[in-house]
Amino acid sequence: MDWSFIGVHVPDYIGGAWVTLRFGLYGVACSMVLGLLCCLAQYFRVPVLRRIVGAYIEVARNTPLLVQLFFLYQGLPRVGIRFSAQACAVIGLTFLGGAYMAEAFRSGLEAVDRSQTEAGQCIGLTAAQNIRFVILPQALATAVPALFANIIFLIKETSMFSVLAMMDLMNVADTLRTSGGRTIEVLFMLVAAYLVLLLPVSLIATLAERRLRYAGFGDRHPV
């Protein structure tokens, strides 16, 4: 293990980690918004939207992110639609992540007993208030593990951004491996960089789940 090589190239990995984290978080945030909207369309059984959302989820979950990125970056320009590499990265990650987030939110909503909705209606809550104050807090508490698992999954999927010529962690590692021939050192730094990015997310997930349970949001007592 050449520690001097590692010390020299740590700044390269810091730059790659920043690109990975920045655009990964953009994609995660957009995925959560898209997933929640898709979930609500299915939950309220909006006829046309429900079919569209169902088809979208099946397509997104059953095609690799690599194929989706190639379609955005190399396929769409053939018909005159062009996006920057950064835009393709965020759109692709959102397209993939939105489907997984929708399923996570759906599992949380379905775990909330229908009696909770009925109890909210009995005390005079509107449909919007019922969703906001009764259903969503309980659903989110249940969905927290799945949501954070999806966040970790999506950040790991940012390794595909290297095909867009973005200098993310994977691209930095591949460049150093090709030019320097230090495979062990390069892979060691790559693993370490992903651990530094993802371990805090795992810890936050554990703390969030415990806090929600302690606050009582995971309990399904009648309203």
Element (H or E) spanning 44, and its range? Answer: none
CA dist 147 and 92 (Å) reads 18
Number of separate domains in the chain? 1
Measure the CA–CA gap between 74 and 220, rounded to whole angstroms.
49
CB 57 within 8 A of CB 97: no
Q: Is residue 21 part of a domain?
A: yes
**199 within domain boundaries:** yes
Residue 83 belongs to a domain with what CATH number? 1.10.3720.10
Give tens-digit pLDDT for 106-117: 888 887 777 776
> What is the Cα–Cα distance from 159 to 152, expressed in whole angstroms?
12
Position 220 in a domain: no
Ramachandran class of 80: left when φ > 0, alpha when ψ lies in -120 to 50, beta otherwise: left
pLDDT in tens, 27-72: 999 999 999 999 888 877 778 888 999 999 999 999 999 999 999 9
Mean pLDDT, the chain, rounded, equals 84
Q: What is the value of pTM for the model shown?
A: 0.85
Q: Report yes or no on 12 lying in a domain.
A: yes
Listed in sequence order, the residues at least 6 apart from 93 whose beta carbon sits closer than 8 Å to its beta carbon are 23, 24, 26, 27, 28, 30, 31, 65, 154, 157, 158
| pLDDT, tens digit, 9 for 90 and up, residues 144-155 | 888 999 999 999
pLDDT of residue 85 exceeding 50, the answer is yes
Would you say residue 200 lies in a domain? yes
Domain contains 67: yes
Query: Which residues form the domain of 189?
Result: 3-215
